[in-house]
Amino acid sequence: MDDVFRALADASRRRLLDRLQARNGQTLRELGEGLAMSRQAVSKHLAVLEAAGLVTSARQGREKLHYLDPAPIHELSDRWIGKYEHGGPDAHGRTKRSMKERRTMDKPEFSYVIYIQATPERVYEALTDAEFAQRYFGGWGPMSDWQVGSPVLWKMGPEGAYEDLGQAVLEAVPGRKLAYTWHRLLPMHRQLFDTEQEFEAARTEQSQVAFDIEPADPSSLGVRLTITHDGFDSPDSEMLKGVSGGWVMILSTLKTLLEHEETTLG
């Protein structure tokens, strides 16, 4: 929490957060445009924001894109504002703590929170609509009838066909939660390993992903979407490394698409 306070204390860093709030997924160059700061200064400020958990980054080709993660700010609000307004920490605060405890007790996991201005029903629909999913997965995406136990087929690229990679639906509650098993490492991942033996051993790992949908505020349209991808064998899991950056980009694109819908409809 102290890291968050220190990061927010600087006006330049707050301006960078404002820019990401306006448009997520910007490069270092884009974030620095029009600011009275050198490229090196912007880079240092972003490093502080990343260390505080307020910004995440992911590689896309040769570029590094930066994304706002508002969860620490909401947690700060719950702890230092909501507590005094409502007499105690709310369910959001309890959820965050339980997630952190689970990370330290069990196998490593990736967890990410994003706030979207859309209804819970629309967010769930976006997660389960195969055609719409291709838009934020970049031409890839899952397809299923979303009944517990049903297979989750995966479209392998814009021109590819849906394939059965051994994934299955674990939980599906419209407007509230969606969970399914994740595919194992594919032949395309062989290049990440030095030997065939290492690759074959890593291919036994079967992880799973869950999306929890909650109203961000009872009085608003916003949704708090939490993704938890777990079941990894170790912190060095190649699948864990891959999904960590990938999910940030995917969910940021989902947010942009859904909020553009709301703006257009409004």
**Cβ-proximal residues to 230 (8 Å cutoff; 6+ apart), any chain:** 106, 107, 108, 109, 110, 207, 208
Q: Is residue 78 part of a domain?
A: no
CA distance 181 to 248: 19
pTM beyond 0.85? no
Together in a domain, 161 and 58? no
Q: Report pLDDT for 95.
A: 37
Together in a domain, 60 and 175? no
Together in a domain, 28 and 115? no
Together in a domain, 116 and 242? yes
Together in a domain, 14 and 64? yes
HSE-CB at 231 with a 13 A cutoff on CA atoms is 18
Span 193-226, pLDDT tens digits:
778 888 888 788 889 999 999 988 765 678 989 9
Q: Report pLDDT for 212.
A: 95
CA 102 to chain CA centroid, nearest Å: 18
How many domains are contained in the chain?
2
CA distance 158 to 173: 28
Could you list the residue range(s) of the whole structural domain that residue 40 is in? Answer: 2-68
209 with 182: CB under 8 angstroms?
yes
Among 12, 38, 68, identify where a domain stops: 68
Low-confidence ranges of the chain (pLDDT < 70): 1, 60-61, 71, 74-107, 218-220, 262-266
